[in-house]
Structure 1
Amino acid sequence: MTQRRFHLVLNVNSGTVQALGVTEPDLEAMFKEYGLEVEIDADPDLSLDQRIEKALASDADTVIAAGGDGTVTALATAVIDSDKSLAILPLGTANLLARDLGLPLDLKECVAALAAMEPLSIDVSEVNGTIFLHKAVIGVLPELAAGRERIRGEGWGAKIGYMRYFFRRLSRARRLALEISTGDGQTRIERVQSIAVACNAYDEGLGRFFHRDKLDTGLLTIYVLRHLNAGDIFRLAAGMIAGRWRDDEAIDISTARSVSIRSKKPRLQAMIDGEVQSVEVPLNFKIYPRALTVLAPIKAVKEELAEDQAENRSEDLPQAARLPA
């Protein structure tokens, strides 16, 4: 097999990168130790857009996002329409896609595993032209998340102050009136505290917070929170820890291939893959099946191939043979 050529984009401003003290020479040494060919871009003076242009112009077949989920999404957006694959070195706080793919979260272990990884095709989603890999959330949650970002790295006093703000803001939050239309022609009016549109579905399971086993179903999952108070938060958190939250009375869950959300407001605050931004209404969501090629551990790739083969065998059977006994 031809050896892969990697172009690595390091987010030197990532809190995790700075906390771990990850440097360009450290990464060069790791890749050399495992016999991997890499060009590393750790230039803090260039904008991310400029660095992405360099990555796309390189002769590498795989671009590595070395940073958090925001870095991963930005690079994924760029490589979707290219002939390059995406790889991830999880150097963020949440590392959501890396966890979904089953990547080692230890930096050195992940570098060591790169050589044996194989391409995996996964879905990507879009809202009003912005690509996302996980979810987009509107309502009270983006505002609370923005407040959390403002105190990142601050001391305990700021954290305690944020908790006071969190529960005070939650108690005063007004529900949004939204019109939700799906591609199958269904339309409904909801009054919500928050609504999330996810690329595929989050699974239940003991201690599995926001984890997706399936990344290629071709479906958006819509999570509607009609009410969200302190009691709801504690109950939902306990349910997530126990692995039983999808049937909680505060949540309504549905799926669709496309979704449009309208409001009387001209713009809404949205948290898209962890980044809070103002988005023009209506919010139009789409999903692109298996549009992104990422490197994943061989186990994940084999599981996808096995599922594809099982589906193909099922399609080849006569209709009667596919009916349950």
Structure 2
Amino acid sequence: MKNRMAPKRRRVLTLFLIFFLFLLSFASSLLFGQTPITAGEVWKSFSAFNDEATSHIVVQSDRLPRAVIATVVGASLAVAGTLMQALTKNPMASPSIFGINQGAIFFVVIGVVYLSLSSLVSLMGMAFLGAALAAAVVYVLGSLGRDGLTPVKIVLAGAAISALFQSYTQGILVLDEAGLQDVMFWLAGSVSGRTLDMLLPVLPFMVIAMITALLLGRAINLFITGDDIAKGMGQKTLLLKAVIGVIVVLLAGSSVAVVGAVGFIGLVIPHVARFFVGHDYRWVLPFSALLGAVLLVSADVLARLIIMPQEVPIGVMTALVGGPFFIYIARRGVSNL
């Protein structure tokens, strides 16, 4: 009993340490930026807000919303990536394998260039619609044929749809260069200028999807042993695949709708989580959520500090981490999920 409890204690301790890193990154997001703000001023902005104090306004109207949004989006993308890798049994899978990013961006471009949409709320709606449609098309294409939905078919379908949407987007922007400036934010990804009001419309979907995902850990443990074994144990694998697909759409689609295309979190974080806790998805999923939040909040802090007073798009920062990691995974040939 003692030996079996030891790994659990280590996991709990590690989880608390990562949570401490999250608190540290969240506090850093409130403190650091173009306008220097002390910890005391941050505290006063919550305990005794003064609408005439610049530091209080900066914290409440800019830094707090972007820290909260980065937390929610980072956790959502990480969990979505974890589920995608479990669903496809592919260690290089991420939400973009469903064409979610590309579908969302394509619909945003359509909204800007052809529908003359300009409000962020309208563009968020277009992004979510495009993400959902792309995922639905990939799921249907991956399910065609005698064997139904298989990892290989869904990967091929995702790659094809992603390339299709990307080529359409590039074609439209070549014909209308003015539209490129309007959608640059969505192409690169950023939490700058986002408000909590922009998160609220999709937050209920993200919360429901996140809670459902965390409850699926035991079922996923059985699923990754193989379809035949899972079916033999009485699991309804087709239903589980459908539920996972819906969760991925809700988490990743909502994230893209709020902050644009932020890549590599869904690819990198699941591997880091499995490094800490092994392959028990009852632990991998919550670790992924917390690690994803840490990564995106930290990336946002670095994005605003590197070339002050300007900011680097947060998607560029995550790519700096995820690009080399992607090459490492490809060269190593990781296959054990």
TM-score, length of structure 1 as denominator length: 0.24
Q: For CA contacts below 8 A with separation 6 or more, give which structure has more relative contact order.
A: 2
Q: Which has the higher strand share?
A: 1
